[in-house]
Amino acid sequence: MDERDLLGEVMEVLGKDCCLDDCAVIPWGEGFLVATTDMLHRSTDFPEAMSDWQIGWMATAVTLSDIASMAAQPAFLLLAVGLDRPDRLREIMRGARDCAARYGTSLVGGDLDHHNELTLVSTGVGVVDREGIVRRSGSHPGDLIAVTGVPGRAQAALEGVRRHERCLFEPRPRVEEGRALGKAGVSAMIDTSDGIALSLYDLLAANPCGYEIHEGLVPLPEEVEDHGKALDMALFGGGDYQLLFTCPAERMPIQNVSYTVIGEAIPSHEVLIDGRPLGKRGYQHVWPG
Amino acid sequence: MDERDLLGEVMEVLGKDCCLDDCAVIPWGEGFLVATTDMLHRSTDFPEAMSDWQIGWMATAVTLSDIASMAAQPAFLLLAVGLDRPDRLREIMRGARDCAARYGTSLVGGDLDHHNELTLVSTGVGVVDREGIVRRSGSHPGDLIAVTGVPGRAQAALEGVRRHERCLFEPRPRVEEGRALGKAGVSAMIDTSDGIALSLYDLLAANPCGYEIHEGLVPLPEEVEDHGKALDMALFGGGDYQLLFTCPAERMPIQNVSYTVIGEAIPSHEVLIDGRPLGKRGYQHVWPG
């Protein structure tokens, strides 16, 4: 049973709306609030080599990435910390504070708890106007598919490429880029935290159309000599917090955002790479049973 | 090192404002948003006998209680679930959904994670207008101290009094009461989740005045025969989600809220019970070292 199966159960209880986007969307005055919460913990999410400051940074960054993918402006953040050792708190809080400040927002509160395994839950609320919001749904056949930055670097770091370690330990959520993409009128968006392939399948679940990408267009992580391996990292690796989006061709190029077109939305409801089905795999929590 | 020592460190990093109230307070248009997050987990917070539905209910209730203590109206909730077993999810979500619905709000999203120890983090956002908000600060000498409901029942249940089990397993956050108390113009408010004594000390930390309560006025949990034990439960027991507040005498009685006056705010900066210092103890997380 994996995370996406369990989401089905959540949808049965809460209704489908709760799980359609990277953030919950709450109509608010003339626009929307978006809200998201992310649980991270030691064994799954924080490699041994990470500093406490980096752990605080990362917990905040993943939440900001969800807000970015809605083209929203972060408004405030909360951080619940389940601490294994009290002496870790200060640096974790500093990392979280610094990440929030870097992206123009702040940590306004939180909770402290004692936990055998270090566990962080960051929650973020953002604002976006009615015209500016971008959701997972909204792609049309013919829209171009693009991704910000270079996917696969975090996975490369996980597999030992030291040069990319900061991509893994100090992810840079694409907050400014998300806002700019919203203003440019992109049609659908998601972040790539579980890899490009799973993100494409998440887009597929929210849209009647499908997607086809082209191997030769996908940017690859530097310093990975084996081409197949580099492509695998780019498509199926976790830990990147780039934005994957679709956009009508006539709205490109988009100013002030570094991105690469990797394919296009297609009429048939499937995910392809150069005409063949793209593997539905990537980073997923799996539960026994 | 206890939770309140660690809060000092958080305040050094984030500034004092982050920790002054049960919720963070964010100026928003003509009023405020309030926001709070609470981490609960199996070993500390969920007695063995609790059902999964009750666990979901409780995680939601504690967050609603924080919102209630600001006299705010809950607007939306998020729930992050660190699941030890996938089959627990459905009932946990149902409990959370039912609690949210009971108090006029809804669960709009969340996160799923695999965790060795069942860990729930609920986050809530509420709204309150500029005149209606009630904070921990604001007491004046002469204000009466009062508490809603009957404190100590959850602790009595923890110590085996079956009659009070639902108070422990299915706490009823005082959302309507909090709003009514705000409208009535109470001067300061906090919830009693760590016990009346610690809540009075938390009020003390936020106010220049002090507080004196009177043993004979404190409502006691029913079916605890030993008077001293019952008083101990009422003052120092955890797990109640009542509201403790101060109010100028001329604003009492307050309609539509069941409460008991137990003392008054005093000019000297201390917490007394019938002239003697009240023990500063109750439910606290403690970290070794």
Instruction: Name the average pLDDT for chain A.
Output: 93
Cα–Cα distance for residue pair A155/A222, rounded to 1 Å? 12
Sorting pLDDT into bands at 50, 70 and 90, what band is A7? confident
Comparing CB atoms, the residue among B23, B81, B109 nearest residue A35 is: B109
- The percent of residues in chain B predicted with pLDDT above 90, rounded, is 83
For residue B177, the distance in angstroms to the closest alpha carbon of chain A comes to 24
State mean pLDDT over B74-97: 95
Closest to A6 (Cβ–Cβ): which among B75, B78, B112? Answer: B112
Q: Which site among A13, A32, A65, A91 would you substitute to test the B interface, given the most B Cβ atoms closer than 10 Å to its Cβ? A: A13
Q: Is the ipTM of this complex over 0.85?
A: yes
Give per-residue pLDDT as tens, A198-216. Answer: 999 999 999 999 999 999 9
Single out the residue of B134, B139, B137 nearest to residue B267, CA to CA.
B139
Q: pLDDT by residue (tens digit) across A216-256? A: 999 999 999 999 999 999 999 988 999 999 999 999 999 99
Q: How many whole angstroms separate alpha carbon A56 and alpha carbon A98?
A: 9
Q: pLDDT-derived band of residue A125, with 50, 70 and 90 as boundaries? A: very high
- Residue B253, judged by CB atoms within 10 A of its CB (0-12, 13-18, 19+), counts as exposed
What is the predicted pLDDT for the residue at B71? 98
CB contact under 8 A, B109 and A23: yes
* pLDDT beyond 70 at B208: yes
d(CA A187, CA B284): 49
pLDDT of residue A286: 56
Residue type for position A267: P
Q: Do A14 and B117 touch (CB under 8 A)?
A: no
> A112 and B75: CB-CB below 8 Å?
no
pLDDT higher at A18 or B26: B26
Are the Cβ atoms of A39 and B79 closer than 8 angstroms?
no
Q: Which tens digits make up the pLDDT trace of B149-161?
A: 999 999 999 899 9
- Are the beta carbons of A107 and A9 closer than 8 angstroms? no
Contact flag A19-B109 (C-beta cutoff 8 Å):
yes
Structure tokens at B113: 């994670």
CB–CB of B10 and A93 under 8 A? yes
The whole-angstrom distance between A255's CA and the closest CA on chain B is 32
pLDDT above 90 (res B279)? yes
Pairs of CB atoms within 8 A across A/B? 198
Closest CA–CA distance from residue B240 to any residue of chain A (Å): 18
CA pseudo-torsion sign B103, B109, B112, B115: negative
Using CB atoms, which residue from B13, B119, B123 is nearest to A119?
B119
